[in-house]
Structure 1
Amino acid sequence: MQKNSLYTAMSRFIGAVNNMDQTVMLPSRLRDVPTHGAEDGAEDGAMYGSYVLLKSIRNDMEWGVLQQGGGRPPAGGGRLQQNGGGTEAAEDEDDLEKQFYFHLNGLHAVLSKLTRKADTLTSRYKEEIGCRN
């Protein structure tokens, strides 16, 4: 498996969240854990909010997300114009390819950030409870 594949990025993220989930025995304790630096912000409960968010994203990735709005495509995206012109179909194909690579690159970047966030949260929790590895 290529190290930059989408599957690998997803596996890393899911693995990091699973590790976080197995490490954090008392999620409510995260409400009292101060954050380091500006990476996670300085809000009270930010670590707990991150924990809930990361688990929710993992669950959506593993089980799928419910289509909101009756399964309609997002406004302005993914619809083919049917004006009978062959050039428009070719432009739509080019547009789909551009959209795919744009979203693929974005997904890689987001998964990397979320994986780091899960690893950071796990480390901070271990520090807070006095567990050193």
Structure 2
Amino acid sequence: MMMQLTETPNQKNSLFNAMNRFIGAVNNMDQTIMVPSMLRDVPLDEDRELSSMKSDMDEGDMYSYYQLLKSIRRDIEWGVRCAAVDERRKESMKITRVNSSASTSSSSSMEDGDDDDDDEEEDLEKQFQYHLTGLHGVLSKLTTQANSLTKRYKQEIGIGGWGQ
């Protein structure tokens, strides 16, 4: 008995499925583009879907964008691990230690602590929804752009009509 792999309308908006669509599009792009160096110096601005990224990138060629999409895929699959993240974590730990020692002396004077906890929970939920919506939107755009880059590569090497 085989499981059916179709998305229901509710699942279509799930973060998990958005990530899988993006990873699938980048994997397809990676398998299609046999000679990535051919993308060097090919401007993004000829393609409407890709040209929107030109202003966000230092280099505006398809090769740079190909590398960026692969990097984002790697970060999703393996997690973001860089010196800047480690440095922020160390700074955060220092600040937390300083604040926790200062707050223990002032915590006894707080009378309305329960209201603050409710507000914090509500804020966390709002923050989560906000970032979830934003991440879903970004992943959808990146998926479209990975598909556009793949299509554009096929056109550049003369196989634009295949597999569309």
- For the aligned pair, the TM-score class normalised by the smaller chain equals 0.7 to 0.9
For 1:5 and 1:44, how far apart are their aligned partners in 2?
Answer: 32
- Point out 4+ residue stretches in structure 1 off by more than 4 angstroms: 42-45
1:32 counterpart SS class:
coil
Larger Rg: 2
| TM-score, scaled to structure 1 | 0.84
* Cα distance per residue 1:29-50 (max 9 Å; x no partner): 1113233244343886521111
Partner in structure 2 of residue 120 of structure 1: 148
Structure 1: gaps spanning 5 or more residues: 74-81
For 1:59 and 1:102, how far apart are their aligned partners in 2?
Answer: 24
Structure 2: gaps spanning 5 or more residues: 1-6, 93-102
**How many percent of aligned residue pairs carry the same amino acid?**
56
> Which structure shows the higher helix fraction?
2
Q: Does 1:29 align with 2:38?
A: yes
* Cα distance per residue 1:74-99 (max 9 Å; x no partner): xxxxxxxx654111111100000000
For 1:62 and 1:98, how far apart are their aligned partners in 2?
Answer: 26
| TM-score, scaled to structure 2 | 0.69
For 1:128 and 1:40, how far apart are their aligned partners in 2?
Answer: 19
Q: How many residues are treated as equivalent by the alignment?
A: 127
Q: Does 1:49 align with 2:58?
A: no
Q: Does 1:97 align with 2:115?
A: no
